[in-house]
Structure 1
Amino acid sequence: MKTTWLAVEPLDTLMVRDGRAFNAGQNGRGEAVAPPPSTLGGVVRHAIGDNVKHRIIGPIVDVAGRRRFLAPADLVRNDNGDTARLSVIERPVGVVSDLDAKLRFSHVLDGEGGRERSWVTAEGLQAWLSGEFAPGTVLDIEGQDEYLCSEPWTRESRLGLAREWFGEHRDTAAEDMLYFANHLRVEDGTRLLVGCQDDKVLTVRNDLALIGGRGRIAHVREHGDSPIPAAAQRFPDGRLTVYLATPALVNDVFWHPPEARLCAVALTGPAPIASASWRRGFGQTRLLRWAVPAGTVYYLQFDSEDDARRWSSEWHGTLLPPDAQGESGSNGESRIATAGFGTCLTGSW
């Protein structure tokens, strides 16, 4: 199986909504979200002229040659303005809880501060994965500019005019249907990098494709090296973290591999994910699901470091295992579950 990386460069603002309904009028507003993997799946299909046979990985955001990732959910900003990583400590024996047994993790995340809303650079995420930025540590002030970065887009409020979708007046202005919507204006040089796993090396046949709204165009070209940071080299006592670079449509929020124990999870959300295909019929294919958001961190423990290393070598930089998400299909994975959802990276803790 070969992986071909494509670079998708938006040429206009992005307007990808999360799928939840909103009313027209002054108080109604459609919120734009970061393009989910399913949006990039449509772009890729148009660009290569066919479906990817196996999986799509990503997207990974690249701004002028520098990759950016959503900050892991265990990073917090304390009252001093410093960024710290939450400690992972064993649950004290005397602590009792009325939570369901499934939620009584063997470890707890400890620390003060609100979630770090910045994004992290590839160098920052690499330090986090490798354990250089270990749980319980505070990122020194001088290093924050190297590790932290801003969101790759800004939000712009737009006034829109709804159109008729069906009937003889299709694509004309709908009566009394003004609405507000937020658009995302990407920074100059922003590209969304998407990995396409197929039996053969893929080539771009159509270098212009629709993305994030009718009439909005992206330039698609082939990209060289993989943008995925390296996995951790060591997993002491079998301890391994799974960081989600994209949202995951997991069957169980508290997912873990059968051969590992889930010790703790850093989670925010849930994230709404909407998808539909005009090509295969909007009414028959539209879907709204709740996903575990990007940035989520699962703390796992395997029986040995070798077991953790084997799992990392198989799944780092690809999608969560087929039994973790999606509906069962002919190859154990549904089409949406192979469209980039659950792109995961492995680190140590």
Structure 2
Amino acid sequence: MNNLKWYRITPLDVLLFRDAKPFSPGERAWAGSIFPPPGHAIAGAIRDLIQSNITIKLTGPFLTYKDQLYFPFPFSYDREHLCKRENNTAVPIPVVPLNWDNLHPLHSLLETDQNLPQPLVFESKHPFNDKLEGQYSAYLDYETILEYLKTSQISVEKWQKNRIKDNESPQPWKIETRPHNTITQGTRQVLEEDGYFVENTIRLQDGWSLAVGIKAKSEDENLKLTDNSQIIRLGGEGHRAILESCPQLGEQWQELEKISQGNQKKAGKKIAYLVTPGVFERRQRNNHPHCKPSPWEWTTAYPNNPTQEKGYLVSFATDKPLVISNRMRFGDNISTPAPQVYAAPAGTVYYLESNSEIILYQDSNASKQIQRWRDLGYSELLWISYQ
């Protein structure tokens, strides 16, 4: 039984989700904000609301505008290089692994190390033009992603829907910098040590909200969340937001999930599209956890050694890692800073080849530590059958 319920979270003012970078001696006391918020911030707000320690399982968080889900721009398209399509419309150009594009001029000329991810190139049937101009939103609407999952392409009509004006911000939020002063007692002077603190907060644009699916991990437990609007404390400094039930978001997610699961089972070339930050870590030497930008079990699809087992991973497109939080310590001195966790950013795309369904270790009999990341909504993938 799937008892996942979907909710819209609308801030009453600004929000603050401090990044995981610790302050260094001599640096100004700045606190940056990461957005969309990490899953543990959402889970903490829900558990504070229901006053319960039950294990919560999240899907998301995503963004929503007028009750329609929005997802991060996939890195399988290059927003900075455009190509001409129908009616001379300038749209983002797709990138593919070099060995997937037989017509590319470098296909038979460039020697690559098969044990490494293959180089990505602009798809040869869409020659880019550096003189073209245009801006696209950093988040694409549900209908666009639905088409992407169904066809592995995005039509000109859908691109036009997601185009923004030159003076618009690609992200549907703005950053507000707020100083905090601590005054020395009995004076009007700022405290010399730790007296000045600056933080960056997030203000969503009008009409935008967060969207998240919530359920109790165990079907025997009751989440005790009503369908009525409720006020929650979300993020740092006790900022408030409205939590509202929104079944329409659940219907959209179910449709995407249904198509994604079908694509995952298909044989051939596939694209795995990461829609929430991906935490892929394993404990290595001296039991120290190490993070990778891709699942550890995805080995190269073209090993140089003929006796080596063929893997799935052809290549991937990603960006700089996202520092999401400090890692929980068990049995250690918790007063010392814990190591940080680095996640692959949402929008990362993995190019894969397989003759059967690709089953992820994180969704099977994984350890409790890995399951905890999944329960908090991290490493959510949508699957595309490449055509």
TM-score for the superposition, normalised by structure 2 = 0.68
Contact kept? 2:362, 2:370, Cα under 8 Å: no
Report the CA distance between 1:144 and its aligned residue.
Answer: 2.8
Residue 277 of structure 2, aligned match among 225, 247, 260:
247
Residue 363 of structure 2, aligned match among 321, 325, 345:
321
> Are residues 344 and 333 of structure 1, via their aligned partners in 2, closer, same or farther at CA, if it must alter by over 3 Å?
same
Aligned residue number for residue 195 of structure 1 = 213
Give the gaps of 5 or more residues in structure 1: 165-172
Larger gyration radius, structure 1 or structure 2: 2
Report the CA distance between 1:148 and its aligned residue.
Answer: 4.7
The amino acid across from 1:120 in the alignment is L
1:144 alignment partner, SS class: helix
Identity %: 21
Contact kept? 1:4, 1:197, Cα under 8 Å: yes
Aligned residue number for residue 64 of structure 1 = 66
Q: Distance in 1 between matches of 2:244 and 2:203?
A: 21
The amino acid across from 1:31 in the alignment is G
Q: How does 1:66-85 map to 2 (within 5 A)?
A: 66-77=68-79, 78=81, 82-85=91-94
Contact kept? 2:82, 2:92, Cα under 8 Å: no
Report the CA distance between 1:273 and its aligned residue.
Answer: 0.8
Report the CA distance between 1:192 and its aligned residue.
Answer: 1.9
Report the CA distance between 1:64 and its aligned residue.
Answer: 2.5
Aligned residue number for residue 216 of structure 1 = 239
State yes or no: 1:159 paired with 2:174: no
TM-score for the superposition, normalised by structure 1 = 0.75
2:159 alignment partner, SS class: helix
Q: Distance in 2 between matches of 1:18 and 1:265?
A: 25
> Are residues 121 and 104 of structure 1, via their aligned partners in 2, closer, same or farther at CA, if it must alter by over 3 Å?
closer
Q: How does 1:119-198 map to 2 (within 5 A)?
A: 119-131=139-151, 133=153, 140=156, 143-148=158-163, 150-161=170-181, 175-176=192-193, 177-198=195-216
Is the deviation greater in 240-249 or in 122-131? 122-131
Residue 89 of structure 1, aligned match among 98, 104, 109:
98
Q: Distance in 1 between matches of 2:381 and 2:95?
A: 20
Report the CA distance between 1:293 and its aligned residue.
Answer: 0.8
Q: Distance in 2 between matches of 1:42 and 1:132?
A: 36
Q: Distance in 1 between matches of 2:339 and 2:66?
A: 34
Contact kept? 2:95, 2:120, Cα under 8 Å: no
> Are residues 20 and 249 of structure 1, via their aligned partners in 2, closer, same or farther at CA, if it must alter by over 3 Å?
same
Give the gaps of 5 or more residues in structure 2: 84-89, 101-106, 165-169, 185-189, 282-291, 300-309
Q: How does 1:93-112 map to 2 (within 5 A)?
A: 94-97=109-112, 102-105=115-118, 108-110=120-122
Report the CA distance between 1:234 and its aligned residue.
Answer: 5.4
Aligned residue number for residue 313 of structure 2 = 262
Q: Distance in 1 between matches of 2:115 and 2:4?
A: 37
Q: Distance in 1 between matches of 2:59 and 2:50?
A: 15
Aligned residues: 316
Contact kept? 1:10, 1:217, Cα under 8 Å: yes
2:4 alignment partner, SS class: strand
The amino acid across from 1:321 in the alignment is D
Q: CA RMSD in A?
A: 3.9
Q: Deviations over 1:262-303 (max 9, x none)?
A: 1111111111111589xxx98489662111111111112221
Aligned residue number for residue 385 of structure 2 = 348
Report the CA distance between 1:221 and its aligned residue.
Answer: 3.0
Q: Distance in 2 between matches of 1:293 and 1:42?
A: 22
Is the deviation greater in 40-49 or in 111-120? 111-120
> Are residues 122 and 190 of structure 1, via their aligned partners in 2, closer, same or farther at CA, if it must alter by over 3 Å?
same
